[in-house]
Amino acid sequence: MSEREICLSGTGVSKVFGFGNRKTVAVDNVDFNFYSGELVSIVGESGSGKTTLIKMLLGLTSVTEGEIQFLGKKRDIRTRSKKKEYWKDIQAIFQDPFSSYNIFSKIDSVLLDCIHMRGGRMLPKAKKIEMMEEACRFVNLKYAEMTNKYPFELSGGQMQRLMIARIFLLRPKILLADEPTSMIDACSRATILDMLLNLRNETGMTIIFITHDMGLAYYISDTVYIMERGKIVEFGSADEVILNPQADYTKRLLSDVPKIHEPWEFSKRNQTPPPQTPVEA
Amino acid sequence: MSKIMLEVNGLTTKYITRYNESVYAVNDVSFQVEEGKSVGIAGESGCGKSTLALSLMGYYFPPLHYTKGDIIIDGRNISGMDPDDVRKNILGTEIAYIPQAAMNALNPTRKVIRFIEDVIWAHDPKISKKDIHDLARERFETLNLPEDTLNKYPVELSGGMKQRTVISISTILSPKVLIADEPSSALDVTSQKMVIKMIHDLMELGYIKSMIFITHELPLLYNVTDDIMVMYAGQIVERGSADQMIFDPIHPYSKGLMGSILVPEDGTRDVKITAIPGTPPNLKKPPDGCRFAERCQYVKSQCRVQNMELAGLGNGRTSRCMMSEEELREAYKNE
């Protein structure tokens, strides 16, 4: 374990909204270590501070207390230019694909921007198109169909896949995925999850996956963090946490998830069929 | 054989777009629900689940239009009835509907008890206020909802509480059929379980006689309903008991759907989840023959020509496929 490189870590990270007696502690003194190439899931109910934590990691909100370390050094994003530099290494996919795009720019320019951001501004046009085609192929979209379209002409699943194509071009060190599959149906969910796994395997990216779905977290992740009311109550490898939970909160969450091998106590699946009473003549 | 509560025969409804094209989102759907039973409807987004739910109410508003077919609730045909008549005599007493974002339906400036008064007075204006309050209080008590909820404003309730309140308001007149269209998809797992527990109690206590439950979350469906129907492109492709459908699907589309189930249980991690390639057909011009042919792994040339009807397989199972049960099982085994 020790030879693995720590990619992103935090000590005593807190976020407090408001002050005085109107204070809300959204994230409460959490410590975490995310190793490079790891797929981490942060699981919690709504209001547990998952999204606030992600926003702090992205640098979209300030950290009230504590320190975030990036690649072993203290993270420095105090100026605009440093922030831009930081965002080359850390990128995000959000929950709602419909609000993630600029509705005025075409899909080509969405992808072109990514190439430009990686310093490919001076590349010949043919090379740029080749790169865009490769990215589209990676996410099973046809580049020829994508050109000259606006993002809102795509379906939710296609938009989310296009988002992954962006990440494929940008090659950040860390990808933060904030419930990317909660707004699309179960079938396209499988495709998106497979793509994220492929992305991790191909580029060695660290993926931090936020979800409230235990089944999904168990399937996709190496390490699982469970958050309750701003605190991390349990963490460990997926098998440890999901199959052998220690914290009461994790146990409760797991008992509330609908399962197919051990149904809920009141489910009809537990009832034996009523004995057939012979019809009285 | 128990009494049939809801019978649907060849129901077809369409959307008319602004270019005057007809989109048949529900196409020749027939099924029955017996008293005390619940049926789940599963399928991808855009396969007509929610439209079927809307169509079953018998209350149509543009762009949705009724085309043909019968909806028979407890022996009474409600299709083709006058909309005002449906509103007055059917909705609420015979059939109740819980939409996806039901909790947003509560007017924030009115107390919960006012909604209950509204619902009851819409059907019988003569009932006294006291009777309504007694009925509401009794109903809330049996469903384990705190009694003071009645005198609260919707904004004072949490998401899960709001959803449970809406469900108890819409079932206050003890409808014969409850249609729940993803009632728990906006909630977290704990509130979801409470909502489902409440729907279960409603069934047990006999306040609702039968239920249709729509969701794309298959493990949830397995825990809630007796039977599961799978819809594809406006048609029902397979129906069977929950156990049969989850562990032993026969139709290739159901098989594909069941491949995407994710549950936090031992051993599920090693099984790779699969997605069905491709997208559903455009319902403006549905393809000839089997609608799933384009995406089916086991497609034969005949599939694209011949229309298939739902065929019984015994044990109350039906499936809409060219290949017989044995042929399909053989094909799955060879994978």
CATH of the domain at A211: 3.40.50.300
Find out if CATH 3.40.50.300 is the number for domain B4-333. yes
Domain extent, residue A110, equals 6-270
Q: Do B222 and A260 touch (CB under 8 A)?
A: yes
Average pLDDT, chain A: 85
Residue A273 above 60 pLDDT? no
- Whether residue A249 is contained in a domain is answered as yes
Q: Tell me the pTM.
A: 0.84
| C-beta atoms of A215 and B189 within 8 A | no
Q: Would residue A87 count as lying in a domain?
A: yes
The residue whose two tokens read 């005085």 is A20
Of all residues in chain B, the one with the smallest CA distance to A184 is B45
* Interface contact B190-A254, CB threshold 8 A: no
For A130-173, write each residue's pLDDT tens digit.
999 999 988 888 888 888 888 888 888 888 888 899 999 988 99
Confidence of residue A1 (pLDDT cuts 50, 70, 90): very low
Looking at residue B325, what is its pLDDT? Answer: 82
Q: Is the Cβ pair B193, A184 closer than 8 Å?
A: no
Residue in the block written with tokens 């003569």: B126
Residue A53 in domain = yes
Chain B hits for A268, CB-CB cut-off 8 Å, are: 224-226, 242
> Which residues of chain B lie closer than 8 angstroms to A213, CB-CB?
262
pLDDT of residue B314: 76
Nearest chain A residue to B222 by CA: give it. A260
Residue ranges per structural domain of chain B: 4-333
- Ranges of beta strands (E only) in B170-248 are 177-181, 210-214, 227-232, 235-241
Owner of token pair 């279960």: B200
Residue of B nearest to A191 (CA): B275
- Decide if B263 and A45 are in contact by the 8 Å CB cutoff: no
Instruction: Give the model's pLDDT for residue B327.
Output: 83
pLDDT range class, residue A3, cuts 50, 70, 90: low
Residue B134 has a pLDDT of: 92
For residue A39, the SS3 value is strand
A215-253 per-position pLDDT tens digit: 888 888 899 999 988 899 999 998 888 888 899 999 988
Residue ranges, chain B, pLDDT below 70: 1
| Closest Cα in chain A to B47 | A185
Q: In what order do the strands lie in the sheet with A206-211?
A: A90-93, A174-178, A206-211, A39-43, A223-228, A231-237
Is pLDDT above 70 for A274? no
| Number of structural domains found in chain A | 1
Would residue A278 count as lying in a domain? no
Nearest-Cα distance to chain B for A256, in Å, is 6
Q: Which residues of chain B does A189 touch, with a Cβ-Cβ cutoff of 8 Å? A: 260, 262, 275
Report pLDDT for A279.
43
User: Is the CB of B192 less than 8 angstroms away from the CB of A259?
Assistant: no
Q: What is the ipTM metric for this complex?
A: 0.78
Residue A2 has a pLDDT of 47
What is the crossing angle of helices B112-123 and B159-170, to 10°? 20
Q: Say which residue, A273 or B2, is predicted with more confidence.
A: B2
